[in-house]
Amino acid sequence: MTAFLRLAALVLLVPSLASAEVVWKGDFETGNISQWTRSQSVSNSRLQVVTDMVREGRYALKATVRQGDDPIGASGNRNELLYISEEKAGSTYFYKWSTLFPKDYPLSDGWQVFAQWHQEGCCGSPPLEFFVKGDQMFLRVGGSEGPIPWQGPLSRGSWHDFVLQVKWSSNAKVGFVQLWHNGKLALPKTMGATQFGSEMNYLKLGLYREDTIQPEASVYHDGFTMSTALEDVIPPAPVPEPVPEPTPTPTPVPEPTPTPTPDPSPTPTPTPTPTPPPVITVPTLPGTGTPNVGVVNNPGDGTNNPMSDSGAQGCGASATGGAPFVAATALLAMATLLSRRRKPAPVRAPRR
Its domain, for residue 184, covers 27-227
Q: According to the model, what pLDDT value does residue 246 have?
A: 73
Edge-to-edge strand ranges of the sheet holding 201-209:
38-40, 77-87, 201-209, 112-119, 128-133, 136-141, 150-153
What is the rounded CA–CA span in Å between residue 152 and residue 185?
12
In three-state secondary structure terms, 138 is: strand
CATH of the domain at 208: 2.60.120.200
Q: Which of 26, 174, 8, 146 is nearest to 90 (CA)?
A: 174
| pLDDT grade for 80, boundaries at 50, 70 and 90 | very high
pLDDT tens column, 200-217: 999 999 999 999 999 999
How many domains does the chain contain in total? 1
Angle at 241 between CA 238 and CA 246, to 5 degrees: 160
- Parallel, antiparallel or unpaired: strands 112-119 and 176-181: unpaired
Q: Kindly state the average pLDDT of the residues 342-350.
A: 50
**203 with 113: CB under 8 angstroms?**
no
What is the rounded CA–CA span in Å between residue 139 and residue 57?
27
Q: According to the model, what pLDDT value does residue 49 have?
A: 98
Q: Kindly state the average pLDDT of the residues 333-348.
A: 55
pLDDT tens column, 257-274: 666 666 555 555 566 666
**35 with 27: CB under 8 angstroms?**
yes
pLDDT at 286 over 80: no
What is the rounded CA–CA span in Å between residue 111 and residue 126?
13
Q: Which of 12, 27, 30 is nearest to 223 (CA)?
A: 27
What is the rounded CA–CA span in Å between residue 282 and residue 327?
14
pLDDT at 25 over 50: yes
Structural domain includes residue 262: no
Structural domain includes residue 310: no
pLDDT tens column, 81-107: 999 999 999 999 999 999 999 999 999
Structural domain includes residue 66: yes
Structural domain includes residue 266: no
Structural domain includes residue 19: no
In three-state secondary structure terms, 191 is: strand
Structural domain includes residue 292: no
| pLDDT grade for 304, boundaries at 50, 70 and 90 | very low
**23 with 92: CB under 8 angstroms?**
no
Q: Which of 186, 179, 193, 191 is nearest to 230 (CA)?
A: 179
| pLDDT grade for 321, boundaries at 50, 70 and 90 | very low
pTM of the model: 0.64
Structural domain includes residue 181: yes
Structural domain includes residue 296: no
